Structure 1
Amino acid sequence: MKPGHRRTARALEFALTLGDADAWSDFAGLAAHHLTEAERAGLAFAALARLAPEQAERVACLALGAAGAPLPAFLAVMDEARLWASLASRAERKAYTLAAFEALGGSDRAAFLQHVSGRAAA
């Protein structure tokens, strides 16, 4: 076993034993220093893959930072909306899509449904 792997494994043991934010932060720091990006990705994948989808999404959003509420558009409304959507979590996209749809008037709702019904469902 590589010395860096041994140190990282020991830090994981402490994090699991102590279970506090400082111990997990120390583990993350040692992992970042001693493990390759591929090794860290494998570790993250293994942990996320064994969580319920909703829990995995919450953990990923905490780690990556969710987009939060969209900011008011300044110039190019559609470009800014697309940028926000690319940063938003699945839950954020679903919530804001439904809220925006519900806020549309009848003719705008009909036009929206016409627009999306022409696209193939994924």
Structure 2
Amino acid sequence: MSISQHIPDHIKRVSRSLGYTLWLGAADHWFGLSAIFRARLNDEDRAGLAWATLRSLDPYHAQAVADAVLGGAGAPDAPLFDTADQAAIWAGIADDDELDAYAVAIFNALPPAKQRYFLEYGQEVLA
């Protein structure tokens, strides 16, 4: 009797999918693999895979992968149509550290008259 006879079918399918994705190597296949993992593996199995994979990377690459998955919005994109709309979209997905860093940098880059206007506007909004 072979050990493969004892491996559950869903694990065999996940293993084959991983092999195909590694062989093909295209980004869209990796996105598809995430969907397969979600459909066929429980939270503990997926967490174990993520843990083992991150531990296999050097700290720089492990952090880059974690940031890509969990991180904030990154730098704002150039606006395609309306700057205010693009800024609102970015601010909606940015994390607190990004919001703080960009808000301070933007405020400091404003001329004094616009800084005063900004502070007055903020006080009105908070009132």
TM category, shorter: 0.5 to 0.7
Which amino acid is the alignment partner of residue 60 of structure 1? Answer: A
Q: Which runs of 5+ in 1 are unaligned?
A: 70-82, 104-122
SS at match of 1:43: helix
Question: Superposed, which structure 2 residues align to 1:77-96 within 5 Å?
Answer: 84-85=96-97
Q: CA deviation at 1:84?
A: 1.2
Do residues 8 (structure 1) and 14 (structure 2) align? Answer: yes
- The runs of 4+ residues in structure 1 deviating greater than 4 Å are none
Return the TM-score normalized by structure 1. 0.55
* CA distance in 2 between partners of 1:44 and 1:21 (Å): 17
| 1:46–1:68 CA distance, 2 compared to 1 (3 A) | same
Distance across 2 between alignment mates of 1:42 and 1:54: 20
Question: Which of 41, 48, 54 is the matching residue for 1:48?
Answer: 54
Root-mean-square deviation (Å): 2.6
TM-score, with length taken from structure 2: 0.53
C-alpha separation in 2, matches of 1:22 and 1:67: 21
Residues 67-104 of structure 1: per-residue CA shift (max 9 Å, x gap) = 546xxxxxxxxxxxxx714xx6xxxx9xx5xx98xx9x
- Which of residues 39, 58, 61 is equivalent to 2:67? 61
> What secondary structure does 2:72 align onto?
coil
> Residues of 2 paired with 1:68 and 1:62: CA distance?
9
Structure 2 unaligned blocks of 5 or more? 1-6, 76-94, 109-127
Aligned residues: 79
Is 1:32 aligned with 2:32? no
Task: Give the Cα separation in 2 of the matches to 1:23 and 1:84.
Answer: 32
Give the % identical residues.
Answer: 36
Q: How far did residue 65 of structure 1 move?
A: 2.9
Shift of 1:66: 2.5
